[in-house]
Structure 1
Amino acid sequence: MKYVFYILCCLTILSCKDKDKPNVLWITIEDTSPQFIGSFGNENASTPVIDKLAKEGVRFTNAFSTGTVCSASRSTIITGARTFRTGTGHQRSQYPIPNYIKGFSYYLKQLGYYTTNNSKTDYNIANEREFIKEAWDESSNKATWKDRQEGQPFFSVFNFAESHQSRTMSWSFKQYVKHVWNHLPEEDRIADNAFEMPPFYNDTPEMRKQFARVYNSIKLTDNRIGELLQKLKDDGLKDDTIIFFYGDHGEGIPRGKTNGINLGYRVPFIVWFPEKYKHLSPWKTGEVSEELISFEDLGPSMIDLLGGEVPEHMKGKKLFSGNSNDKNELLLLSTDRVDNGLDLVRSVTDGKYIYSRNYMPFIPEVRYINYLEIADITKHMRKDLKDGKLNALQSGIFNERPYEVLYDIENDIWEANNLAGNPKYKSIVDNMRQFMDAELLKAKDIMFMPEYEMAKISEKQTPYEYRLKTSEYNFDEIYKVASLSGKKGKDITKAQIAYLKHKNAMVRYWASIGLMSQDKASLQSYQKQLNKSLLDNYPPVSITISALLYQKFDKNNKAIEVLNKYCKSSNQDWQLSLMSINYMLYFKDRKPFETAVVELLERPNLKGHVKSACHDFINSQKIKNTI
């Protein structure tokens, strides 16, 4: 009887302990920048539910996604590990990660929490189904807190897609009307003339009709959040639940989402504490925090807040520790390939300024990404560009980028004025550049590896672990050459040409990437060496040098042959096809490649990213042929 009594006492104590644990509700909205939320300063927005959360909670003005597209940002959120360590930066690449890296919610389950996800995953890793099963008690579009055991605390995520890029731009206007406009009461609908246009868009009736979709989609999202919070209150749970609200990355519009600038990274972020758990908050009710936070901090902060031990692979800060040493002074951010659009940008911010290093600057901000190209707003922009109706800022987003930019994001929220070349800001640029270099070298950024190589590595081991093998992945040497990319002049060209003979294939690759930014005059005396490198046995080098020779030197026939060959690579080597077509998309004369692209598009089981690039080539080529 004493033994039974002891067991009952223990169970009672554990039950009481569980009841003392807070519930946690995460409200995630898609593709939204704080510039479009009322409580973050937009007087044209109608977001009363979000604004009330901000007034009663803590509003963070310097919260940043660690990527600029959903799968990359969600990879960091769920694992607590940065994409340039795990190799998960390319959208929907799904390369393997080590078995010991688990979703942060797995650790909450070990603490007795009932974990649910409703319902987006998109974690961008191999074996995602098994990973999800281990991380969540339930992950579906019906998941909620209701099926937990009596007295069991919950951690629940609700993801709202009403603000997604599909609604704000990529779906047809008819679909937008059906899924957004028709779900808004008449008094909630925001008219085409009821807001200010960002200055990098041409302010025309056609553009306003499309851009109003952003405001109406966010308004519908706000309504949906209100319904969820009412459900929480009706279930008698609000007084026991800490509420988080945030967007998964920047606004889903041209020049926002997918771009390595503030508009791609910065997100709205709010935390609301019920009276019962206000003691867990280092901040006061209604406080506005300028603390720098990123998605790398979310996993370790949740585990720490709820009483767990943070795993070694999670390097983020514990936001609720109240420890002044546990604060970020600078944040390193990153963006890589998005769908069929190649890119590699690394950025640093202190909240007031953002510095971005474009390692493929020959690709413009509004680059060919099929999900953007099918949108009416992008079509209007390209037509206005063709008709000469855009000013320097508006047309500039279609041009080659500077290799580095610095924006004052407090006073220039639309990032119109690049300060990187201004001597007044030299110390800021130098400090951020040095921080970025040191952090990337320490992390051994695996995303500098061509994706063609990463796919092959992933057949035998994880990119996360491979990057640590200095004898195989000599990142110091690779980064030294990659850091020349975008810089111009005879001395830089000479060094890049010399690196084309390096024994390390990835060093040669970055030498070829860097040469893409050099002008014809700088390359003129090196044609013999370039023609040799055109036949390099490492395909990413051969493809890039072929693109360079075709673009700079009167349509080199051998270059045409090489590009067409790699364009039609096997489905297994789809990365080579994608690379080839991406270069072709920016050629003035694409006619020599039309047949190869059409033949590729007819191939069965073609990789989605490659298919998207083919469609961009064909559709834009039709437009070119009518000019």
Structure 2
Amino acid sequence: MRFRSALLNQLNWSLFSLCAICTALFSVSVSAAESERGRPNILWITSEDNGPHLGCYGDEYADTPHIDKLAAKGMIYLNCWSTAPVCAPARTTLITGMYPTCLGAEHMRSMVKLPENVLLYPQYLRQAGYYCTNNSKEDYNVEKTGKVWDQSNGKSHWKNRKPGQPFFAVFNHTISHESKIRNRPHTLIHDPAKVRIPAYHPDTPEVRHDWAQYYDRITEMDAKVGKNLKELAEAGLTEDTIIFYYGDHGSGMPRSKRWPYNSGLQVPLVVYVPPKFRKLAPADYEAQGKTDRLVGFVDFAPTVLSLAGVKPPQHMQGDAFMGEFKTKPQEYLYGFRGRMDERYDLVRSVRNQRYLYIKNYMPHKKYGQYLNYMFQTPTTQVWKKMYDAGELKPPQTYFWETKPAEELYDLQADRDEVNNLADSADHQQVLEELKQAQHKKILAIRDLGFLPEAEFHSLSDGGAPYLIGQNKELYPLKQILMMADLASSGKPSGVDQLIKGLSSQNSAIRYWAAMGLLMRGDKAVAQAHEPLDKALKDSSKSVRCIAAEALGKYGTHQDVDNAVDTLISLSDQKKEGVYVAMLALNGLDKLGSEKVARVQVQIAKLPLKNAQLDRRLQSYVGRLVERLQEQQNTEK
């Protein structure tokens, strides 16, 4: 299937003509009630890579006096999710008020276009008269059009606004980032002997040091938050300003960051609403209060617009939990995992007040796939070394093994999420409830993650991938999801249906059919040998990659040769594009060094960078090439 420009224009108009009208009228959409009472300033203070490891959340090991003081006069959200467990997709959720999974922006460090008439939330605030600043990280997966911020750099500050102008200001602190918990030398302040080690980590000096250093960094971050609050107070603006403090996703420790467990998605959220704006607060707001209301990053954009007296536009998919246009509490929170740096995966998660459900659509991939950046952390290194040496027992072994198709955790009884209840007879009702909730969300937002990354970029032909996802003819999601569910079910049955899927006219269905055969191993691949061999010449390069991986892992010697030839031919990012190249190189990596030894010279000649790409994407192919070469050298 090919996406025609005429169809793009027609779809663009049909989907967003109403939005364009609303945008044109937006400058007068601030409510009369809001104009009468005056508008609040809004301050967002954010920190990176930390969960709710704070004193105000009951963590006695933490030393966070400034955030604790803010919580003492404000309210704590006990169940706030970042929606994505890694920075760029999480920040994309924040800036759009939409799920990146429907935008084609779920993958770590990618760049996609938005539909023409979809603006980012600061643009709506600026239209309403707010002075909007960001100090200073952006890291969005969507292209900006028009002016988004009045100022977005290290010098951005609310004090630069016009006299009397209300402000919306973000101050982002990086000191607790993953990279800061592993840099050495570091003299520990927190006693590593007293740190709590989660059940999935081994108890070693390296792990204790990383966790203690993480808490040291949180204390340093807290001091920066204190400076922001002091500056606001000295300007006499505290009682005119609604203050949010929150983290951007879970801790930077392995199996938190990058994983849509509660440990990777739960973030601290402390909100202060001054008395003069108390009508904008939620009904359960109180000083020193706590709420178990479920809120997520997808809700933040509509919430901040609601606080400013601006009705959130219809394309935003979250729910305002404060302000004039607040909605009723939601039953579920949703999370996701896509490509993480250079490694592909597809995971969706959903939780209610007590339980977390995870669906692994690629359960044949290990949790702890080799990521260059993640493996720089001492905890990751010692953990993997101990696993390889056979020195670990469950649940510390799980991270280095393949995944079950489904996971279910009781967050009240199992804070570390290591006791999978998916097969428990007593929990089938809640599992089915959450599974259905996740399915409904996938279909409601038209989750684009079931289309290979290379496909929605090529189909959109330089336009917005979102429009591809919303087109039911180009993207028959129900049928694709059925095949993805069958492929990832973990059941040995269904081979005949998967073989039939290889002949579908839809490339995404063929992709998942090939994936399902790969997941089932040697017998399924042997049964599907002829259609898989034919798929090595499929019109979709993504289908070719998966068929080649299946035949290369489980086929004959001739199949291995054909598979390796197919994958190496697709590994040149300058010829095939970065997304096809990454998929092909991942396939070569899964075949093992012995099978790919004969193409090492070709691998060494592959272009490691493509200057035409967004700079954040430029290192990923090089990392995969380096990994293939390292493994070959290790074998020697």
TM-score by length of 2: 0.89
**2:154 aligned partner:** 141
TM-superposed deviation, 1:274: 2.2
Equivalent positions of 1:296-307 (< 5 A) are 296-307=298-309
1:565 aligns with 2:569: yes
Taking only the aligned residue pairs, the percentage that are identical comes to 32
User: Counterpart amino acid of 1:600?
Assistant: L
Q: Which moved more, 1:320-329 or 1:84-93?
A: 320-329
Instruction: Return the match for 2:365 from 353, 363, 366.
Output: 363
Aligned equivalents of 2:76, 2:524: Cα separation in 1? 51
**1:211 aligned partner:** 211
Q: Is the 8 A contact 1:104 1:299 kept in 2?
A: yes
1:71 aligns with 2:88: yes
**1:6 aligned partner:** none
Instruction: Return the match for 2:549 from 499, 522, 547.
Output: 547
Q: Which moved more, 1:296-305 or 1:482-491?
A: 482-491
Equivalent positions of 1:223-302 (< 5 A) are 223-282=223-282, 283-302=285-304
Q: Is the 8 A contact 1:369 1:616 kept in 2?
A: no
State the Cα deviation string for residues 590-613 of structure 1 (Å, max 9, x = none): 542543332225566483221122
Equivalent positions of 1:34-183 (< 5 A) are 34=52, 36-126=53-143, 128=144, 130-131=145-146, 134-169=147-182, 172-174=183-185, 177=186
State the Cα deviation string for residues 101-158 of structure 1 (Å, max 9, x = none): 11112222222211111011111112x3x44xx2211111111111111122111100
TM-superposed deviation, 1:572: 5.1
State the Cα deviation string for residues 386-423 of structure 1 (Å, max 9, x = none): 22222222222111111111111222111111111111
Equivalent residue of 1:467, what SS? helix
Q: Which runs of 5+ in 2 are unaligned?
A: 1-31
TM-superposed deviation, 1:306: 1.4
**2:27 aligned partner:** none
Q: Which moved more, 1:272-281 or 1:215-224?
A: 272-281
Q: Is the 8 A contact 2:549 2:590 kept in 1?
A: no
**2:18 aligned partner:** none
Q: Which moved more, 1:548-557 or 1:332-341?
A: 548-557
Instruction: Return the match for 1:314 from 313, 316, 339.
Output: 316
State the Cα deviation string for residues 161-186 of structure 1 (Å, max 9, x = none): 011111123xx424xx3xxx5xxxx8
User: Counterpart amino acid of 2:154?
Assistant: N
Equivalent residue of 1:502, what SS? coil
User: Counterpart amino acid of 1:409?
Assistant: L
TM-superposed deviation, 1:507: 0.7
State the Cα deviation string for residues 265-292 of structure 1 (Å, max 9, x = none): 1111110122332332221111110101
User: Counterpart amino acid of 1:616?
Assistant: R
Count of residues in correspondence between the two structures = 593
**1:458 aligned partner:** 460
1:352 aligns with 2:354: yes
State the Cα deviation string for residues 418-461 of structure 1 (Å, max 9, x = none): 11111111011111111111221122211211111122133342
Aligned equivalents of 2:376, 2:627: Cα separation in 1? 9
Q: Is the 8 A contact 2:250 2:266 kept in 1?
A: yes
State the Cα deviation string for residues 33-71 of structure 1 (Å, max 9, x = none): 12x222223221111222222222111111111212111
Aligned-residue Cα RMSD (Å) equals 2.3
Equivalent positions of 1:189-588 (< 5 A) are 189-282=189-282, 283-320=285-322, 326-553=328-555, 556-570=560-574, 573-588=577-592
User: Counterpart amino acid of 1:552?
Assistant: Y
Equivalent residue of 2:569, what SS? helix
Aligned equivalents of 1:227, 1:603: Cα separation in 2? 41
**1:30 aligned partner:** 48
Aligned equivalents of 2:81, 2:56: Cα separation in 1? 17
Q: Is the 8 A contact 1:80 1:300 kept in 2?
A: yes
Change (3 A) 1:351 1:31: farther
Aligned equivalents of 2:511, 2:464: Cα separation in 1? 22
Q: Which moved more, 1:246-255 or 1:383-392?
A: 383-392
Change (3 A) 1:625 1:527: same
Change (3 A) 1:432 1:604: closer
Q: Which runs of 5+ in 1 are unaligned?
A: 1-13
Equivalent residue of 2:520, what SS? coil
TM-superposed deviation, 1:332: 2.4
Q: Is the 8 A contact 2:104 2:453 kept in 1?
A: no
